[in-house]
Structure 1
Amino acid sequence: MQDVIAPGLKVLFCGINPSVYSAVVRHHFARPGNRFWPALYASGFTDRLLAPHEQGELLVRGYGITNVVEEASVAADSLTARDYAEGGRKLDAKVRRYQPRYLAVLGIGAWRTAFGKPKALLGLQPELLADTRVWVLPNPSGLNAHYRPADLARMFRELRLAVEAGG
């Protein structure tokens, strides 16, 4: 699936990997029940609720989308440690090439596994990836029942406020 990306973004949102549904329709976070787009809107990243087919509108706002692992799967739990490690190397190269201010990894397990950070917590990470700040958010998949929509909105808002503060 093609990234939504450009040099110098404010935030590059990074999913774990595309769902089969998203790969078929060729739009990120397109599976019904995915809470990415509602979380962007509820947190103030967008002024209206965007539909997955409007993903290109993120670029004019300074945001983009990529994935740790490029290959689609029915569920992220089918990915191997090797998939994550290879995806992490590719993501590192992508961040170095496009130099976003923030990389927002949407899934703590993906960040921990792809970058060897087993004790990482949600939020701003203490280390940079190249010159990019890393912020880890929960996976917005509807399958992730640990976080309610209001929780996701609050956590996405924390990132937005940090970005707007120039941090």
Structure 2
Amino acid sequence: MTRALPDYLASGLRVVFVGFNPGETSAREGHYYAYPGNRFYWLLWQAGLTDRLYAPHEDAALLDLGYGLTDLVGRSTRSSGDLTAAELRAGREELLAKLARYRPRVACYNGKGIYAALSGRARVAYGLQAGSVVPGVLDFVAASPSGRSREKLEEKLRLYRELRDLIAEGDEHGRLG
């Protein structure tokens, strides 16, 4: 199965943002978080993770900031609920291998469902997780930036600011974990 979007990964990234899978608009446009109602780039900017508002077609440029992008499953769908159990299992193994290979300082999961599928945990809270699915990589769960997400925009922004502080702490003290 081919991936709808390329992975933007490199060794030693500050953070890798992990989505569930590309939506149809993102797959069609060829860029992460391309649906107009998705607030990902706005959240990065408003939280102080970027110094300006990036557009989806600039997704590869986030690598220059030390930010990577990937998805749990590469196939695009209307909804993550359209993914099969087999796709989730295969995506889990692939993502764990990527995180172990590239070893970002932080893996930020854009939604509780992604982290639940990856970690096997039935209950997931937002924020920094107590354990890590890949040793040495901090796990952080943010609310989905999708407009379909039930979380309020203020809560999403609060979480992205918490992530900004975690990344800044790591920048000041060297690699965390």
Same fold (TM over 0.5): yes
Q: Percent identity?
A: 37
Pairing partner for 1:47 from 47, 51, 54? 51
1:67 corresponds in structure 2 to 71
User: How many pairs align?
Assistant: 166
Q: Which stretches in structure 1 are left out of the alignment for 5+ residues?
A: none
From the two aligned structures, give the one with the greater strand fraction: 1
Moved over 6 A (4+): none
Q: Aligned partners of 1:84, 1:153: CA distance in 2, in Å? A: 28
Paired AA for residue 147 in structure 1: E
| Deviation larger for 106-115 or 35-44 | 106-115
The correspondence of residues 146-165 of structure 1 with structure 2, limited to 5 A, is 146-165=150-169
1:137 corresponds in structure 2 to 142
TM-score by length of 1: 0.94
1:105 corresponds in structure 2 to 109
Q: Conserved in 2, the CA contact under 8 Å of 1:84 and 1:110?
A: no
Deviation at 1:87, TM superposition (A): 1.1
Q: Deviations over 1:37-81 (max 9, x none)?
A: 111111110011100001122111110110011110011121233
Paired AA for residue 104 in structure 2: P
Paired AA for residue 43 in structure 2: A
CA RMSD of aligned residues (A): 1.2
TM-score by length of 2: 0.89
